[in-house]
Structure 1
Amino acid sequence: MDDTLIVLRREFEAAEGSFLARLRSDLVWDRVAFSRLERAMRVACGQYEGHDGLPRWVAEGFYEVSHVVAEWTAHPNFPRPQPAHYYQDCLERMRDLADWFFRGWHAYQEPHVWRDL
């Protein structure tokens, strides 16, 4: 879990090379950085599932990512070299992970496989 928290902190703080830094500063949807963030969020969801007392910075990060990424990329001139469904799937995944994190369970019937995006 420690590695996951390190990745999440870097991503949520928009450290250099993070998905959020690339998105905000460069207007680039970095697929590798997105995958790193998404995997860390998914691991954290599984680790925190059913636990009380969530670290505030993690909760704030989940909230921000699930809302702000959609807002930043909603502008019609935001560069989208991938097919539209890729971005829609990614935004849906961010909402699903935030929902799972805050509720303590995900909405999918088990066994559920989170496919890579």
Structure 2
Amino acid sequence: MSSPEDITARLKREFDVGEGAFIRQLRPQFIWDTEAFVSLTDAMEAYCREIPRGEEVDLWAAEGFWWVPAYVRKWTSHPGFPREHPSDYYDRAYARLDGLAWWFFTTRPPFTEGHDWGPVRP
């Protein structure tokens, strides 16, 4: 199990578009890397699951959880973006990002206990 510091650093790297981050490949390279997407959503989930939140949240985290779902949807819905996977995969990916944002802002997971959250794959 990762420490809170490791979980936070991993998510910050994703949200700051660090080396290997999903967004870094999405734009300007026009690459939807499925493994990088799983890494992003795993980092977001770990943060929601493991990092205690109270009345206040870190601004960088709030900005990332708000920005990433909207940005990914907008960028990859553009007619010029090469969509190499079935459209239902992208719909499930967008729903996962929306669910993670919901979890972050409400502190309630978007699924019932025992639900198999599992990674989104094509």
TM-score when normalising by structure 1: 0.91
Task: Please list every run of 5 or more consecutive structure 2 residues that lacks an aligned counterpart in the other structure.
Answer: none
Please say if 1:112 is aligned against 2:115.
yes
**Greater share of helix residues, 1 or 2?**
1
Residue identity over aligned pairs, in percent, reads 38
* Equivalence for 2:18: 15
Residues in 2 aligned to 1:99 and 1:36: alpha-carbon distance in whole angstroms: 19
Runs of 4+ in 1 over 6 A off after TM superposition: none
Give the residue type in structure 2 aligned to 1:2: E
- Select the residue among 97, 102, 105 that pairs with 1:94: 97
Aligned residues: 117
Task: Tell me, yes or no, if the aligned pair for 2:14 and 2:21 is still in contact at 8 Å.
Answer: yes
Q: 1:15 Cα deviation (Å)?
A: 1.7
SS of 2:47 mapped into structure 1: helix
RMSD: 1.4
Task: Tell me, yes or no, if the aligned pair for 1:45 and 1:104 is still in contact at 8 Å.
Answer: yes
Q: How does 1:73-92 map to 2 (within 5 A)?
A: 73-92=76-95
Task: Please list every run of 5 or more consecutive structure 1 residues that lacks an aligned counterpart in the other structure.
Answer: none
Q: 1:53 Cα deviation (Å)?
A: 2.2
TM-score when normalising by structure 2: 0.88
* Equivalence for 1:26: 29
Deviations 1:14-51 (A, max 9, x none): 12321011111101101111111100100111124663
Task: Tell me, yes or no, if the aligned pair for 1:66 and 1:94 is still in contact at 8 Å.
Answer: yes
Please say if 1:4 is aligned against 2:10.
no
* Equivalence for 2:73: 70
- Select the residue among 47, 72, 76 that pairs with 1:44: 47
Give the residue type in structure 2 aligned to 1:94: L
Residues in 1 aligned to 2:56 and 2:98: alpha-carbon distance in whole angstroms: 21
